[in-house]
């Protein structure tokens, strides 16, 4: 048994076009497309072409929120990307988590649904991966970053982003299909850690149900001691989230999500610095998602809730550290960078103490680091948190 087979990361992955927004280009596009302020009042559910894409992005910038959407026109993604300097990277929660584990010296095996020359170039040369597809495919995702304070003014639009964040726009048939390899169960029979992510890109309900049935069959081979981590995401078809949960929640040990997903489920804004509001929100969340442990990672703190909270404190701590390091130093951080971030001051502990008390001991809260950075990396922070979390679990099981 290879060391990599102990940590199986799935289920999809992608090539990303990463760019950072500038006010000048956005203002030009507002004029070109005749976009008005009233169009920015709510997230755009349907993104048909570049105009819809610009409206969607502006709405998120105004709120300082992150999100993910399907885009009906694949050429619109490339057209928009070509308006900015951008770089090609690999994305998907499982892939970014795997890249971090490799950086930390922990082998893993990636289940992929698409490969191409970019994958072969950017994945670790000695890494293990297996692909459910039969041919090379290329469906790049548009990853849009924006800084806090980005000010866009054109026509009757005058917005300033209150927070830095990232947006994801996708047209990806391979991840929509989410074909599973026939030997996934054989690999899971040897696993101590299994990451599930990626169903959020699917759009066909019958195909989704078929993939979920197949996944349950494969998961039956998991050893009883294995830890299964499910990382949530913004579903292109929002109703599919409940279908996924009902199919596999009983096989999940840890259910992870961020503050955007939390607030979407509750259909309300949550003050993340109010212990009472967060306690009420998490209590409501458990009614919807009765997992043994829920991990919530936010811009201010991360926490694990539930009867198994104590078992994952070190893992949450590792996730916070790795995400903070990526935020400050980007992709190519060093051991010295990790050590430097670890020495940074933390946010006040009083919030966590109050929240833990309100949750009657069913919570462990890790405060975030104070990160005053002029040019932060906002892409992949949740994925990096997951990789850091799993590094602690995998390190124990090695």
Mean pLDDT by 10 residues, the chain (398 residues): 79 96 98 96 79 96 93 95 96 97 95 96 94 93 96 98 95 96 96 97 97 98 97 94 97 97 96 98 98 97 96 98 96 94 96 97 96 89 97 76
The candidate with the shortest Cα–Cα distance to 153, out of 161, 144, 163, 165, is: 161
The pLDDT of residue 398: 39
**Both tokens assigned to 256:** 């992870």
pLDDT given for residue 361 in this prediction: 87
Question: Given this model, what pLDDT does residue 4 score?
Answer: 61
Predicted pLDDT at 375: 86
Per-residue model confidence (pLDDT) at position 44: 59
d(CA 178, CA 198): 8
Q: Which two tokens stand for residue 95?
A: 């892939």
pLDDT given at position 397:
47
Residue 204 and residue 237 in contact, taking contact as beta carbons nearer than 8 Å: no
The whole-number pLDDT of residue 136 equals 94
- Give the integer Cα–Cα distance in Å for 376 and 369: 14
| pLDDT value, residue 358 | 98
Residue 349 makes CB contacts below 8 A (sequence gap 6+) with: 367
CATH code matching the domain that covers 3-16+89-140+171-397, chosen among 3.40.1190.20, 3.10.20.30, 2.40.50.360, 3.40.605.10: 3.40.1190.20
pLDDT (0 to 100) of residue 93: 97
Domain ranges of the chain: 3-16+89-140+171-397
Residue 43's pLDDT is 62
Prediction pTM value: 0.93
Question: What pLDDT is stored for residue 3 in this prediction?
Answer: 72
């Amino acid at each position: 048994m290879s060391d990599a087979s102990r940590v199986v990361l799935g289920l999809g992955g992608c090539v990303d076009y990463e760019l950072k927004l500038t006010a000048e280009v956005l203002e030009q596009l507002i004029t070109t497309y005749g976009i008005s302020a009233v169009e920015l009042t709510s997230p755009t559910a349907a993104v048909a072409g570049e105009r819809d894409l610009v409206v969607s992005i502006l709405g998120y910038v105004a709120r300082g929120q992150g999100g993910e959407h399907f885009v009906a026109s694949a050429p619109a993604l490339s057209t928009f990307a070509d308006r900015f300097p951008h770089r090609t990277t690999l994305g998907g929660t499982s892939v970014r988590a795997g890249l971090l584990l490799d950086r930390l010296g922990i082998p893993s095996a990636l289940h992929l649904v698409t490969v191409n020359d970019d994958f072969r170039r950017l994945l670790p040369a000695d890494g293990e991966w297996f692909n459910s597809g039969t041919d090379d495919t290329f469906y790049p995702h548009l990853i849009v970053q924006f800084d806090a304070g980005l000010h866009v003014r054109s026509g009757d639009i005058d917005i300033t982003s209150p927070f830095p964040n990232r947006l994801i726009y996708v047209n990806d048939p391979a991840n929509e299909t989410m074909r599973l390899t026939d030997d996934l169960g054989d690999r899971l029979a040897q696993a101590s850690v299994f990451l599930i992510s990626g169903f959020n890109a699917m759009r066909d309900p019958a195909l989704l149900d078929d993939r979920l049935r197949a996944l349950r069959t494969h998961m039956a081979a998991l050893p009883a001691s294995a830890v299964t981590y499910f990382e949530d995401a913004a579903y292109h078809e929002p109703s599919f989230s409940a279908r996924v949960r009902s199919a596999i929640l009983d096989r999940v040990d840890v259910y992870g999500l961020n503050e955007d997903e939390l607030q979407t489920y509750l259909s309300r804004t949550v003050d993340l610095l109010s212990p009472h509001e967060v306690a009420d929100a998490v209590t409501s969340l458990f009614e919807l998602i009765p997992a043994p442990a829920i991990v919530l990672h936010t811009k201010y703190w991360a926490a694990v809730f539930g009867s198994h909270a104590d078992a994952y404190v070190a893992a949450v701590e590792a996730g916070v550290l790795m995400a903070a390091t990526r935020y400050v130093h980007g992709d190519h951080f060093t051991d010295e960078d990790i050590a430097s971030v670890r020495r940074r001051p933390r946010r006040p502990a009083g919030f966590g103490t109050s929240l833990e008390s309100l949750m009657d001991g069913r919570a462990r809260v890790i405060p975030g680091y104070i990160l005053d950075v002029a040019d932060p990396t906002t892409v992949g922070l949740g994925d990096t948190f997951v990789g850091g979390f799993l590094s602690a679990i995998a390190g124990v099981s090695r």
